[in-house]
Amino acid sequence: MLQLFTFDTTHHALWAEEIARDAQIPVEVVPAPPGSRAQCNLALECLPDDMGRLAARFSESGVPFELYAPGVH
């Protein structure tokens, strides 16, 4: 199952995409799910094996994010 990162702003989503690409971690920009708490309509999708490494990169860089888990509110 693919993992989703959601963001409060479009700026944060695009910044996160740039960080992932610089780290050569494959991501896809997708619409944020309706059930997420995202304040913007963008999310990043990644493979489960990359989730921890990507979350660490975002945290180190100061990008605020949430992990989206369907059915968890």
The pLDDT, as a whole number, for residue 73 is: 44
**Among the CATH numbers 3.30.70, 3.40.50, 2.60.120, 1.10.357, which is that of 3-68?**
3.30.70
Cα distances (angstroms) measured from residue 68 to each of 5, 10, 22: 6, 16, 23
The pLDDT, as a whole number, for residue 69 is: 75
The pLDDT, as a whole number, for residue 38 is: 80
The pLDDT, as a whole number, for residue 71 is: 55
**Domain limits of the chain?**
3-68
- Other CB atoms within a 10 A radius of the CB of residue 48 amount to 9
Cβ proximity of 16 and 66 under 8 Å: no
Q: In the chain, which residues have pLDDT < 70? A: 70-73
